[in-house]
Amino acid sequence: MKKIIISKLFLYRYRFIIGYVLLGIAFIVLLFSLPRIAQTGLSDTEMNSATSSYYLGKNGILNGDLVDLPYRIVQKFSIVFFGLSTYAVKLPSILAGLALGLMLILLLNRWFKSNVSLLASSLIVLSTPFLFLAGSGTPLIMIVFWPTLLLWLGSKIQGEKRPKPLYSFAFAIAMLLSIFTPYMIYFAAFCVFFVAFQPHLRFIVKDLPKLPLVLVGLIIIAGFAVLGISIYNHPETILQLIAAEGFEMSSFLPNIAKGFAPVFAWHSTMEGIFLSPLLSLPSFALGLIGLFSTTKGFFASRNSIATMLLVFCVIITGFNPDAVVFVILPFSILMAHGLKYILEKWYGLFPENPYARISALLPLTILFGIMIIPGLLQYIYGYRYNPSVADAFTDDVAIIRHNLSDQTLLVRDKFDFYKILEASTDLKIVNELQDKADIAVLGSLEGEHENYALSRIITSPRRDNSDIIYLYTYTEKGE
């Protein structure tokens, strides 16, 4: 009987390619299904983001309206092309999430072996916080997107004896665009500080070709010059880029406590847009193992960067509690370190025993099943049925589009947002009661209006206060 050699089997030889293909399919299907499987509608921040994006004009850009500009341009085109809908508002984040997931996979694959990077990539791109970011129609995802892109481009420069100038230029352009996202000015300073004080990176920068390095520097300086002119003409821009609206230094430490509370809330639920816990207990434990494993050889750039990113995460969370989602990036690196450490220790126990190595597949499969599947179920059902977070989202837009055709709709709150519906529907959106006409009201008419008779109430099964739209018929007094 012919002896079977495992290394020559098709599934074994192409196991990583098959794994990445299956991960990619699951990831893409999940991303483009997000508006239907999780958050049932839009939050206040998503409505505000859609409003500011839709009304973004050339004059605004020329006058210095540059905060989150790349994201807002994409969101504007999405709403104009598809009309105001939950999907159109979230589509820019879905596309950014697709690119972010790909970059995380490429980054981990560049820094770690294929077995570690595949497992770590699966854990992070199918996790609750990552899917939330990709399904939230706000620029919040860009806080993670830009640093990940810069790290990946930096790894392409660092890992080559003669890096291609294209990567240097791409790094400069990414740095240029990133500074228009809140808190990325801090990250630019962090990059300069890290390169200056990290011996290995400092040596690499000194060894780079001088012409691309000078051109990259000029591009970055030009970007900061544009930003400086904008800040000079509109001083409020700098406040939007360095801190949340209404920030005071006395709230710095309370913001850190508030921001990290969902990370450690493993036995409780918290009100807000984040479904707690932000990181599952097994993922957190794996990250801690990775953190401890990096203490050996800490000054290697790959080992120290995750710790520095955690420090950066704490700092920006002090300015805005929602920025805690940046923890996704350092924890993805730390979980990869943790997996690397566990696998090396296991293989070190049985260096010559292939059966012992294979026997690790069963506990690993159980571990990853425990970490991924409950996380997906938590995301899908938590945002639908957990009252602590579900009440932060409203499906009013979907209800309006489904039930109203050519009526006049009275809207008192967020009028500018709902006014966008006129561009893609036959609705007329008003903020004052029309004379002698039937009318639909988002909410109900306040006070007595004797000429208006209630004819119908449109409800939502997903809301505690299920009455959403009131339809009134106008009749002349005395008829």
For residue range 193-222, what is the model confidence (pLDDT) as tens digits?
777 776 666 666 666 666 666 777 777 777
C-beta separation of 133 from 328 below 8 A: yes
Token pair of 348, please?
């070190």
Ramachandran quadrant class, 64 (left: phi over 0; alpha: psi -120 to 50; beta: rest) = left
Integer angstrom CA distances of residue 168 from 124, 171, 199, 358 = 27, 5, 20, 42
Order across the sheet with 408-410: list the strands.
428-430, 408-410, 439-442, 467-474, 452-459
End-to-end Cα separation, the chain, in angstroms: 98
C-beta separation of 214 from 169 below 8 A: no
Opening angle at CA 51, ends 45 and 54, nearest 5 = 135
Return per-residue pLDDT of the chain as tens, 479 residues: 455 555 565 555 666 677 778 777 888 888 877 777 766 788 888 899 999 888 887 666 556 677 888 898 899 999 999 888 888 899 899 999 889 988 888 888 888 887 788 888 888 888 888 888 888 888 989 999 999 998 888 877 766 666 667 777 788 788 888 888 888 888 887 777 777 776 666 666 666 666 666 777 777 777 777 777 777 777 777 777 777 776 777 788 888 888 888 877 766 665 666 777 788 888 888 888 888 877 775 555 566 788 888 888 888 888 888 888 888 888 888 888 888 888 877 777 766 666 666 676 677 777 777 778 887 888 887 777 777 777 778 888 888 888 888 888 888 888 888 888 888 888 888 888 776 777 888 877 766 567 777 788 888 776 666 778 888 887 776 55
Token pair of 337, please?
């370190």
The residues pairing with 429 across neighbouring beta strands, listed in sequence order, are: 409
CB atoms under 10 Å from CB of 210, counted, come to 7
Place of tokens 């790959």: 302
